[in-house]
Amino acid sequence: MKDSGKISSFLKTGEVYFPPEDIVKNLRINEEVYEEGKRIEEFWGKISEELVWFRKWDRVLEWNPPYSKWFVNGKLNASYNCLDRHLDARGNKTALIWEGEPGDRVTYTYGELYREVCRFSNVLKDLGIKKGDRITLYLPMIPQLPVAMLACARIGAIHSVVFAGFSPRALRERINDAESRILITADGGFRRGRIIPLKENADEALEDAPSIEHVIVVERTGKRWNRYERDLTWDEVIEKQDTECEAEIMDSEDELFILYTSGTTGKPKGVVHRTGGYMVGVHITAKWIFDLRDDDIYWCTADIGWITGHSYIVYGPLSNGATVVMYEGAPDHPARDRFWEIIERYGVTVFYTAPTAIRSFMKWGDEWVKKHDLSILRILGTVGEPINPRAWEWYHRVVGGERCPIMDTWWQTETGMILISPLPFTPLKPGSATKPFPGIEADVLDEDGNPCKPGEGGYLVIKTPWPAMLKTLFRDDERYIKTYWERFPGVYLTGDAAKKDEDGYFWILGRSDDVINVSGHRIGTMEVESALVSHPAVAEAAVVGKAHEIKGQAIVSFIILKEGFDPDENLKELLKAHVRAEIGGIAVPDEIYFVSSLPKTRSGKIMRRILRAIESGKEIGDTSTLEDEKSVKEILGKK
């Protein structure tokens, strides 16, 4: 790659950002890790030694596609690696800084967190829970959530965390599929000043969930709730428990958790992650990508109900002995500077958030950020979807002060760990996730399974196994094979589309079904959305394909405008001209709809599947993960 000489910042798309020398010179890794990663078993075997094993593995990998076994016959415990191993050196170090939306705050040292986890482990054992049993957690972002997860891991129970924004029906579906014995929930959680009625939702879900024997309720809000014979409160069951509980010796292949992720059709997929490989993968990616150091204050803003929270709030950072910030509420409550207030208050040095949030921050304006001193930040990250270059540049300039490298990470629930990402020494291009993590072999294939040429869009695949890869889908090996391994035998199909440039950098284009074929040209929805969002009038955009009798597919866009712009025909023509100038005539939308909101999941991802269904006149299908149905009604009203 040609050195552009830029040291501090980008001014426009296409320039390369070289991370500041003061960050690069202090790193514990360099380019040599990529060469080491080519020797997969030797590489991952060496990294695994950073964890504590009760019995060392006999072999790093057994690979019988599509099934893998990692660290064969190795014995360890995830909770032990997050807590016990730190007690001598970091027992009095802060492990968790928690802030609730109303402003209440709690901190736990590693010693305190260890004791709390042990107490709740003993609760579960007293209730008859044993190794292999499933426990469902339906909790807001409160400390009891990671405590319960680590307690499950400690005794060998398999946790299934269900995002607290899910409906009773979605919760019931996940409980019944896992056949969970215990549900852990709360009387409610706070969100933008409102109380989310979690216990009421749980009671409705349990009207048809026969496997549940006990419900443990955290009394978070003071909201009155109906108590049934099966119900227990967190405080009453944990109060007199012993603060010691020996960690269960787990085989590397033993299941650690199930996490459900929506499919395009049918019931949610229960992604199963195992103990050994998962812990190795999340430990080293957290350490290297975010350059975690003993004095860092690290904040990932994801909800633990999603894989990002599992891997990069709980297991990855805690296995590294980091100090983790955890926040319960919305980024704009009581004001639009809540995130920046938290960063300033706690001295956050590493900040990991989603492009959806960044676009909202942009829309709200720079002044909210500039009210606070964020100069202590040194590394930024993004996760969840591709970030368009304009949002990248704003994040880098306004939040990062033109000094913080941005770790634009690509991965999935199924991958368990980050697979494509810069490292802090990587030259960066806005909007590109750059290169695969050391030890990962990714590629972009065409319809026939051949590598695409630079700049050509195709199927993003992973060609070799990696430690944190899903073990299977819960009780559905057939679906596991069909979904991920059937299209290109022996190669993992991510379901995402991507392209590689001449430097080998990966550009994620969105889901494979988010690639539009216009007159034989494959156009990523992300490319068109980035072009639209780069116009000063556009706050957010979603693009889908629509059947066209001549071109095959036409491009349809749904746009949220910034305040002060009028949604008229003149602006539509200006936006079309803008896309034409940015990408070319082939990418100009045939139709533009101005809307006040877009259909999104509760984690903030745009549900383009719903937009495609509306455009094609098909059934919208499962909306259990939809945040607000008003957006769908508005769009239907414009059709």
The tens digit of pLDDT for each residue in 465-496 reads 999 999 999 999 999 999 999 999 999 999 99
**How distant, in Å, are the alpha carbons of 331, 552, 556 from that of 547?**
38, 6, 10
Tell me the backbone φ, ψ of residue 327, rounded to 5 degrees.
-125, 140
pLDDT in tens, 71-85: 999 999 999 999 999
Cα–Cα distance between 618 and 505 in angstroms, integer?
A: 37
Q: Based on the domain organization, do 486 and 578 belong to the same domain?
A: no
pLDDT in tens, 574-598: 999 998 877 777 889 999 999 988 8
The mean of the pLDDT values for the chain is 91
Cα–Cα distance between 380 and 390 in angstroms, integer?
A: 16
Q: Based on the domain organization, do 226 and 353 belong to the same domain?
A: yes
Pick from 77-86, 113-122, 227-236, 614-623: least confident: 614-623
The residue-averaged pLDDT of 424-449 equals: 96
Q: Based on the domain organization, do 484 and 609 belong to the same domain?
A: no
Cα–Cα distance between 274 and 470 in angstroms, integer?
A: 7
Q: Based on the domain organization, do 132 and 252 belong to the same domain?
A: yes
Q: Based on the domain organization, do 465 and 540 belong to the same domain?
A: no
Whether 580 contacts 588, CB under 8 Å:
yes
Q: What is the pLDDT of residue 527?
A: 80
Q: Give the pLDDT band of residue 607 (cuts 50, 70, 90).
A: confident
Reference 608, options 528, 544, 560; nearest CA is: 544
| Residue 550, Cβ density class (10 Å: 0-12 exposed, 13-18 middle, ≥19 buried) | exposed
Q: What is the pLDDT of residue 610?
A: 84
The residue-averaged pLDDT of 298-313 equals: 96
Q: Based on the domain organization, do 475 and 580 belong to the same domain?
A: no
**How distant, in Å, are the alpha carbons of 226, 506, 527 from that of 198?**
12, 40, 39
Residue 615 in any domain: the answer is: yes
Q: What is the pLDDT of residue 469?
A: 98
Q: Based on the domain organization, do 213 and 107 belong to the same domain?
A: yes
Question: Which residue has better confidence, 398 or 261?
Answer: 398
Cα–Cα distance between 334 and 336 in angstroms, integer?
A: 7
Cα–Cα distance between 106 and 124 in angstroms, integer?
A: 24
Here the CATH number for the domain that contains residue 562 is 3.30.300.30
Q: Give the pLDDT band of residue 627 (cuts 50, 70, 90).
A: low
Cα–Cα distance between 313 and 305 in angstroms, integer?
A: 11
Q: Which two three-digit tokens encode residue 200?
A: 């009421």
Q: What is the pLDDT of residue 272?
A: 98
Reference 332, options 312, 356, 351, 350; nearest CA is: 356
Name residue 461's beta-bridge partners: 443, 493
Q: What is the pLDDT of residue 262?
A: 65
Residue 120 in any domain: the answer is: yes
Handedness of CA 448, 451, 457, 463 (dihedral sign): positive
The residue-averaged pLDDT of 202-231 equals: 97
Confidence check: pLDDT of 392 > 60: yes
Q: Give the pLDDT band of residue 625 (cuts 50, 70, 90).
A: low
Q: Give the pLDDT band of residue 626 (cuts 50, 70, 90).
A: low
pLDDT in tens, 534-578: 999 999 999 998 888 777 789 999 999 998 999 999 999 999 999
Confidence check: pLDDT of 602 > 80: no
Report which DSSP code applies to 152: H
Reference 610, options 637, 589, 638, 632; nearest CA is: 632
Collapsed DSSP state (helix, strand, coil) of residue 164: coil
Q: What is the pLDDT of residue 73?
A: 98
Cα–Cα distance between 269 and 301 in angstroms, integer?
A: 24
The residue-averaged pLDDT of 137-165 equals: 97
Here the CATH number for the domain that contains residue 306 is 3.40.50.12780
Residue 510 in any domain: the answer is: no
The residue-averaged pLDDT of 364-376 equals: 96
Confidence check: pLDDT of 635 > 80: no
Cα–Cα distance between 501 and 304 in angstroms, integer?
A: 34
Q: Based on the domain organization, do 192 and 329 belong to the same domain?
A: yes
R_g of the chain computed on alpha carbons = 24
Confidence check: pLDDT of 134 > 50: yes
Confidence check: pLDDT of 165 > 90: no
Whether omega for the bond prior to residue 424 falls within 30 degrees of 0, making it cis, is: no
Q: What is the pLDDT of residue 4?
A: 39
Confidence check: pLDDT of 328 > 70: yes
Confidence check: pLDDT of 3 > 60: no
Which helix (H) or strand (E) segment holds residue 113: the answer is helix 110-126
Confidence check: pLDDT of 170 > 50: yes
Q: What is the pLDDT of residue 616?
A: 76
Residue 397 in any domain: the answer is: yes
Q: Give the pLDDT band of residue 263 (cuts 50, 70, 90).
A: low
Residue 324 in any domain: the answer is: yes
- Say what percent of the chain tops pLDDT 90: 77
Q: What is the pLDDT of residue 166?
A: 82
Q: Based on the domain organization, do 229 and 122 belong to the same domain?
A: yes
Cα–Cα distance between 125 and 220 in angstroms, integer?
A: 24
Domain that holds residue 627: 519-638
Q: Based on the domain organization, do 487 and 566 belong to the same domain?
A: no
The residue-averaged pLDDT of 309-320 equals: 98
The residue-averaged pLDDT of 227-247 equals: 97
Q: What is the pLDDT of residue 2?
A: 42
Q: Based on the domain organization, do 473 and 561 belong to the same domain?
A: no
Q: What is the pLDDT of residue 158?
A: 98
Residue 16 in any domain: the answer is: no
**How distant, in Å, are the alpha carbons of 77, 225, 496 from that of 526?**
40, 45, 12
Q: Based on the domain organization, do 566 and 419 belong to the same domain?
A: no
Q: Which two three-digit tokens encode residue 274?
A: 């195992």
The residue-averaged pLDDT of 498-505 equals: 95
Domain count for the chain: 2
Question: Which residue has better confidence, 608 or 74?
Answer: 74
Residue 4 in any domain: the answer is: no
Pick from 7-16, 26-35, 171-180, 624-633: least confident: 7-16
Question: Which residue has better confidence, 191 or 261?
Answer: 191
The residue-averaged pLDDT of 38-43 equals: 97
Collapsed DSSP state (helix, strand, coil) of residue 337: coil
Handedness of CA 514, 461, 521, 508 (dihedral sign): positive
The residue-averaged pLDDT of 334-357 equals: 96
Confidence check: pLDDT of 606 > 90: no
Q: What is the pLDDT of residue 13?
A: 43
The residue-averaged pLDDT of 23-39 equals: 95
The residue-averaged pLDDT of 385-414 equals: 94
In DSSP notation, 296-334 reads: -EEEE-S-TTSHHHIIIIIIHHHHTT-EEEEE-S-TTSS
**HSE of 267, CA atoms in CB hemisphere, 13 A:** 17
Q: Which amino acid is at 206?
A: L
Residue 177 in any domain: the answer is: yes
